[in-house]
Structure 1
């Protein structure tokens, strides 16, 4: 690929990185004379409609965004067998590279990067785009200090955020609980991934690890992300709370989008960076009298009361120069009385708190129980767990494309919801995928068939191209369910998430009957078919050396590259001349013509046929001749 000129415009220079869907190269835009990054889909994925659509979706999603913290997309296209995407080239490293080099980042560095990423995501969320693959590998740190988020390859519009089948597209270490359990993603799923990434920046490690991806996914769905300060003690409490807020298992308890989290981050920065906060406070000028009065004191405490009033409380009597003892005693008594009031009030408050605590933990919210996560458990196990917690299990059903039939899909109320003891929790057991009805697919174009299948909540499968003498080229011939091979060409029952394969017509196969063997082979080769010489046979209608018939060698449907067996004519089948010498004229004539021979004789012989017999034949009896050959008959002389 290096050195290749793509679409007559982009000269590939070197490789930058390789991912699951594509490889990124450094290239030069010869038209605008600038360096760009060109992303080229892997060859084995270019023919897959789903991957090609996802690749185009990335270009459309990113092109809708114009923000300093989002990687710009310049162009997208197809050059022969290459699907490509042209992006802004940012010399630098990724956040993943930075974490590998430094282990973990300081709170200040973390907030700087988080602020830039949130700004870019906020623009995406405002445009109705969910990134769905937020991770350190997709955060670019340019050499000039710019921070940008890129790779919108899994992005989806907010109003089309439900994933089925390949639903489990993204990086498992950053998958939100709702993506793991229900395959649903919205802006709050990006927030969850960003919370995990923030934890990783602050601690240098991910919160969940496991030997298999499913173990990590299970922890995302069932565990609570710990506070970063448990691993890195220097992390401020405010950042702990920000991470816990962003990674709440219930999406309703997270920030609704990146803008909300960005506003909160800006407030956190004011608390975590006290120098910045102090610099923003107004300068306070104290009166000269206050300064002079308190200049000798080591520590000055300025309360809310005016300084003059405070001074009056302790000032000596102007006449005696001493504090009046009566006033002093009265003041002491008043202080004791106030202290008694405070103690009484404190006792009442403590009693109220004790009573409130008893109510809270006895019959109030404190007595409530969190509904456990029962996804994928058997109904018996789910019932036992709920009863052990003092809850009542009620049977329910739900359709699911992810949870096998007979296992628990979820509960109502959902897991994590707090309910009172003795409450009823409905346990919804999977009935498998929901039933659907497919429309008629035969006769549609491939694109129309794929749309009809997707609209019915099924999944377009493989496309088989075959030759057909009855269906017009480019139209669907037949369709089958991948699970059991059932024919759904004319529509029919299926189930949500089922894969539907369909065959598309390549048109007629050219009729090569009557052509020579060499011409027939050339004709078939023009249609990407391989003609091979088959058995030779006799034919009274097809000349020797010409093709009598053509048939698939395998006996199945014809595809490009199929072998066609050609049967070639050997001409008419030879027949042995019988011995008719001595037979009556009429008998001999009938015998020879019945065998397909033509006769040559004196026509006058027919008039006296009853008196004649055959004296000789030419050729003689026993000679093999093709049917239609002429035999000369010589009659005997009836007059001696």
Structure 2
């Protein structure tokens, strides 16, 4: 993997933990590096926000957006989403760490290999929708689905990257600032024209991406981004078979459903879209699934980037290549708001200044819609009627009146026939329409079908998991409540299968917390948390137990709490010096500190008492640590000198210098001067300080 050798961050240790190895990619908001987490000894992708974005009046907004990305993404746990591990600030460096995915992205794959086989394209899109479903269930919208943000790992996994644009749907729909973030080639029409955005906007982008994977080109192309934006707003996405004629009608219907121009015509979220896709895959024969379109001739399009937009093949998506479309609030101080055709000119001029990449920034003042400027059609004038020839008195002047009357009657008859035909066509014929009954969502499938039967409408049902709608009840209808539908039309009912259940995997107790989390996430559990416990017997990070039973089938959103070892508990070493060994052992026992006894002689500390301890009193230690105790053996033993036949004064001095006490017994009470015997035989070892008696 290539890296930029001049990058000053390469080789640094960020926040005392992440060793920066090389640079992976650089975008408009941040740079991504390959780094090593020295604490957990694993490779991570380190995303560092550009320092200059934190400067100035808007710097706080950039920092807040960057940190919001970490919080939003960390809420998502799904094997198809790039995981966010950590977020922090090191000096002026704001960073977050993500899962490192070794591989390439979908943009580079399209550039190098051309269109996908039908089955492979549907499989990849299905995994993208499955990953988005985890976000949509938590009311989060990605807002920037594109091939650069779909990662294809070397082990075959598909992962969706860069939830930096995600924010809660309720926040998006209530926003009044008009800020739109996204990439022009994949933006939904509603996002361009009104700034509205919900889960269906992600579905639209997936539909555009599927079109590109099947045909090798985007549905809307142009030399400038304004041309592409106009087409998104004003034109329906063409069916893929107009580019690849052998593609079946099922593929055309799927792409047109996902990328319908009106949001209400699309599946309402990723889970519903996934149901459509899987149904189409089941209908297609193997020979179609294995067929691939020929690579199309190159088409110049402002909207499509190249795989070389970054420093190196991106394994974490095209980071922060964001288009910003601001709708409303911008005015010209001299001339007032730019509206109508002026808004289009203003938009075109802004876009032309950014024609060097795949991202744009432009302004649509006061939510002016994207539409071509229209002019007034030239007036059509007619020449005056020729005057009646007054020189022909015999001419019948009533003939023009009769002609006029005949013309009027003919016109009335034609209009009547047309009106009658239209009345029959729209009232009773094939063109007649009715409305979908309201209130089907929330009713049981049987009730909904009965009401549709009463309305003479056909119906079909598909099942989808749902966290809040009980099993057997209708989640949504297509078309929706009250919408117009041909009288012989079909209403699709999406019926809840209840909350999706998964089986708790086994072997979690004793595993590392990272492995346990990955195992639960790969199965589908979405509410995994941790509870730390001090433990002497298991290393830090080991799973000690969990709040659910392994092998049990539970709803995917069941809270699963992992009891995780924090290792031995820190303690403070108590004072045991000068105590007896038994007393010292009793003092250490409540702190689970193990005494290690070392005995030695001491002339100052009585036998059996602690001379010194290590660690010393007040030192930090962990439960289970050893404390070395030096225990006194009492006075040392010394050899008794030979003082026989030595004058008593000299003998006394020799013995006292050796550390003994001396007592003298005189012969007959007072006679004698030399030592005739001593109580301890010369050469024996006696404790220092013992008393030796001399007989004279």
TM-score with structure 2 length normalisation? 0.40
- Which structure has the higher relative contact order (CA within 8 Å, separation 6+)? 2
Higher helix share: 1
